[in-house]
Amino acid sequence: MSTINVGDIVARISHGMDILFKVEEVIEHRGKAVALLRGLDLRLYADSPVADLEKKTPSEISAYRQAYIRQNSDMMKRIFQRRMQDRENFLARGSTEKPAAVEHFEIPGSVLHLDGDKEYLDLCKTTYSQLSIKAYGFHVPENKQADQVVKYLIEYTPDILVMTGHDGLIKDKKDFSDINNYRYSKHFVQAVRRAREYEPGRDDLVIFAGACQSHYEALIEAGANFASSPQRVLIHAFDPVFIVEKIAYSSITEVLSLKDILNNTITGIEGVGGIESRGRFRMGYPKSPY
């Protein structure tokens, strides 16, 4: 068995090596070496005996990364195709002109994104930019988001708020209804409550909260429009971004189909869910020549 060090990319032998993790820390627990792990593409924290880990080779890591890069690329293509069709449909309503001839301007919803994982945050910010979404992103640890969210809301006045990072059921805990059995769900719940104290209207501030295996029901009850995870499954790092995109580019006159929103994710309805919400996109007319 090769030595496992901080920064190594590993997989858990007992779980069939289905998920790749980065080793964040190695500690001693009850006389055994235990690694604290962060999902490479899933918003999951976990721990594992070092003896149950296998270090992955560069070629194995590359193949794994290529698989989720393809997933993201396919999703982006679907998004841009949908946007084009939505824009043509909107501009054609009540107009005798061809859609391309109508000069208009667009204001998609803006986003405030607080993330407990800096690497994922940077990837999400890049994706927001590619999707032409104005986004303000900050690295805030999961257990600090409740203390800081209102400060950021006041400064940036977003249409959409994302509070995410990592989560997961504590090892050997079986009661899914007890929020104390989750690593960070209670912190996400408190952060949502603080945000709702500042802005109670669920159509005035659309909130996504949670990460892998988070306590979905508690997050929705606290005031989130969308949350993870209904079936306590793992969610993809970019699922919050893809939900946000659908909201940011759907008209404020439209109550969105939940199926349409959730089909905009990689994980699907087992990993994310929510309540009826309005889009945050506004069309303007006419476009100024200046």
Pairing state of beta strands 105-107 and 53-55?
A: unpaired
Token pair belonging to 201: 């209207």
From the CB of residue 245, how many other CB atoms can be counted at a distance below 10 Å?
Answer: 28
Q: Residue 97 carries which side chain, given as an amino acid letter? A: E
Antiparallel, parallel or unpaired: β 32-39 and 20-29? antiparallel
Report residue 254's pLDDT band, with 50, 70 and 90 as the boundaries.
confident
Structure tokens at 79: 């998004």
Rounded distance between C-alpha atoms, residue 25 and residue 7, angstroms = 8
The string of pLDDT tens digits covering residues 125-183 is: 999 999 999 999 999 999 999 999 999 999 999 999 999 998 988 877 888 999 999 99
Q: Determine the pLDDT at residue 13.
A: 94
Distance between CA atoms of residues 149 and 189, nearest Å: 12
Kindly indicate the confidence band of residue 270, based on its pLDDT and cuts at 50, 70 and 90: confident
pLDDT tens for residues 36-72? 898 887 887 788 999 999 999 999 988 887 776 777 7
Q: What percent of the chain has pLDDT over 70?
A: 93
Q: 69-284 belongs to which homologous superfamily? A: Response regulator (3.40.50.2300)
The full set of domain ranges for the chain reads 9-56, 69-284
Q: Amino acid letter at 48?
A: S
Closest CA to 208 of 229, 182, 181, 232: 229
Are residues 145 and 188 in contact, defined by beta-carbon separation less than 8 angstroms? yes
Residue 279 has pLDDT above 70, yes or no: yes
